[in-house]
Structure 1
């Protein structure tokens, strides 16, 4: 897997959050409980594994993360 493919693209992040503004994306991710990091540019960075359900965090907890995330559509 290419390193670029490890993270959601800016377009995918906008679709996931429903927001285009960086600060609003961060707010939306926190509300949804999606684990993410904020990079040096202030952009939210979400690993593809998190949204595909493959994430196993081995060290640390990303900003705004809950212990386990389930999409609302799955009733979680």
Structure 2
């Protein structure tokens, strides 16, 4: 059976990540640590799995090498 892909962490996982059980403390932790999140209609933080695991879902393209345009 294929592994199930999840989009967001559960409330229990967010509580474990932040080590807080209240909305305000969870939100404060996420903001303080720069973890991307949004707030649902009930006021609870929602964190995507990609925000925690660092997956972008896109193939990264290498940056081109820098070449000066100054004539020497």
- Measured in 1, the distance between the counterparts of 2:28 and 2:56 equals 21
Moved over 4 A (4+): none
SS of residue matched to 2:29: helix
Structure-1-length-normalised TM-score: 0.65
Question: How do 1:36-75 residues align onto structure 2 when only pairs under 5 Å count?
Answer: 36-55=37-56
Q: Larger RCO: Structure 1 or Structure 2 (Cα < 8 Å, ≥ 6 residues apart)?
A: 1
- Max radius of gyration: which structure? 2
Cα root mean square deviation, aligned: 1.5
Where does structure 2 lack aligned partners over 5 or more consecutive residues?
Answer: 58-72
Structure-2-length-normalised TM-score: 0.68
Q: How many residues align?
A: 54
Where does structure 1 lack aligned partners over 5 or more consecutive residues?
Answer: 57-76
**Residue in structure 2 matched with residue 18 of structure 1 by the alignment:** 19
